[in-house]
Amino acid sequence: MTEHVKPPRAVFVPFRMGHHFGVPFHRELQRRVITDALDLVTTATESGTIVDLPLTWAQARREGIAIEQEGGRR
């Protein structure tokens, strides 16, 4: 979809639909998706740049479950 829309700059996250910024209560991950996107504003050199963030849904879920088991937020 991202390739079809042809945005000038984009980051791609391999997350579930409806969870583009990560998993519940994982503040670090939610923030990272935003800041990595904002970094592209200054680092992209040509329109159409799409960066695949080195993240996985499995890892995000594992970390999210751990955060909730700790009873906190990270």
Partner 1 sequence: MTATSEPGQLRPGLWQTVNDRYPGSMITKDGLVPLAPLHKPLSQARLSFVSTSGVQPRGTLPFDVVHPVGDYTFRRVPSDSSPAQLEIHQLKYPTDGAHRDLNVIFPIERLQELRYEGVIGGLTPDLFTFIGYNMDPGLLERTLAEDLAKAVADEQPDLVLLSAA
Site for partner 1, rule CB under 8 A: 1, 3-9, 16-25, 27, 30-31, 33-35, 37-38, 41-42, 44-48
Residue 21 Cβ vs partner 1, minimum distance, rounded to whole Å: 5
- Beta carbons of 68 and 21 less than 8 angstroms apart: no
How far apart (Å, rounded) are the C-alpha atoms in residues 55 and 41? 20
How far apart (Å, rounded) are the C-alpha atoms in residues 6 and 49? 9
Residue 61 Cβ vs partner 1, minimum distance, rounded to whole Å: 10
Residue 54 Cβ vs partner 1, minimum distance, rounded to whole Å: 16
